[in-house]
Amino acid sequence: MKLVPAIVLATLALVQPATARPLQCAPYARENSAIDLHGNAASWWEQAKGTYAQGQAPRAGAVLVFKATGAMPVGHVAVVRKIVDQRHVLLNHANWSRPGMIETSAMAEDVSTKGDWSSVRVWYAPTRSLGLRASPAHGFIYAPGSDGTMLVSEAASDTPSEAFMSAFQDASKQG
């Protein structure tokens, strides 16, 4: 039996195992919210029924659930960090701009015609702008104990607010 030098063993210990994968959005959202669901992001909306409150208005701490599409076959989930205005929120999420990348305070914009967050554009770091394609979304899963208070102004406005412009400029610096 031949002994392997300690330096070779130490080097092998630094090699990443073949099973290591980038952080996905679902485990990230679960770890950074009060929503304890498992499986692909696309399954969270149905799983939440009867367990968590759901709706179409953003609240800080809620999880925004995107539908599965050709571009996102397992959907996507993101945690609402902050409400900017009725049509803009800041999200914390993983695996959007590139595999495993964690983004905090990423701008998301409701581009739905009804203002119900069913179509959303999200900050995309490689272009340093809101994404060119709108992504379909189910809505928001609310954290347990949420008081249901609307954090978004009831007054609709098509003009970006000062808060939006400030948040957008901050997000632009992140990329």
- Structural domain contains residue 3: no
CA distance 165 to 175: 16
CATH classification at residue 27: 3.90.1720.10
- Structural domain contains residue 38: yes
Q: How many domains does the chain have?
A: 1
- Structural domain contains residue 134: yes
Q: Which domain holds residue 93?
A: 21-145+156-174
Q: pLDDT at position 149, please?
A: 35
List of residues 6+ apart from 154 with CB closer than 8 A: none
- Structural domain contains residue 151: no
- Structural domain contains residue 90: yes
Q: pLDDT at position 13, please?
A: 40
- Interior/surface letters 134-171, b for 16+ CB within 10 angstroms, e for the rest: bbebbbbbbbeebeeeeebeeeeeeeeeeebeebbeeb
Nearest of 162, 135, 159 to residue 64 by alpha carbon: 135
What's the rounded mean pLDDT across residues 116-141? 96
| pLDDT higher than 50, residue 17 | no
- Structural domain contains residue 73: yes
- Structural domain contains residue 71: yes
Q: pLDDT at position 71, please?
A: 93
Residue 4 vs residue 135, higher pLDDT: 135
Q: Which residue has the tokens 């770890």?
A: 31
- Structural domain contains residue 15: no
